[in-house]
Amino acid sequence: MDEKTPSVLLTTPSWLLTQTAMHAQRIVAEAFAAENSRGYHFRLLATLTEFGPSSQAALGRHTGIDRSDIVATVNELVAAGYVERSPDPADGRRNIITLTTAGKRRHRHLGELVETVQDEIFAPLSAGERATLAGLLAKVLAHHS
């Protein structure tokens, strides 16, 4: 950090979190871009891996991705062969998104990439410190969700 940063900011968790998040977002985005991918791709693939076939609306709820961005991201993943879109037999107005075998492989690959990126972002922390930080951040996020 710059030696001209006011000391009060260096002890303000929200400021530190914001600054750290900007660096983390850049590092993650660069890593995904190098793999011709985006964070949204990983989020959708991870959701389908964990929860199984889902409607686009359910994917949006699980991932926090805006509805219009879900459509565009699903289109990209369909074009790449990572997911399939089919009409919901229970409601023809809705599509069900299903992970393909290639999508499962892609999810594993991007998951490994995410782990590597976490090592880069949190290099100064021990494994225990990382676990503590993740737990604390999850607690704050749950409070505001």
pLDDT in tens, 97-109: 999 999 999 999 9
Please give the C-alpha separations between residue 58 and each of 52, 83, 88, in angstroms, as whole numbers. 11, 15, 13
9-144 to CATH, choices 3.40.50.720, 1.10.10.10, 1.10.3470.10, 3.90.550.10: 1.10.10.10
Q: Using a cut of 0.75, tell me whether the model's pTM lies above it.
A: yes
Cα–Cα distance measured from residue 84 to residue 97, given in angstroms and rounded to the nearest whole number: 6
What is the tens place of the pLDDT at every residue in 15-38? 999 999 999 999 999 999 999 999
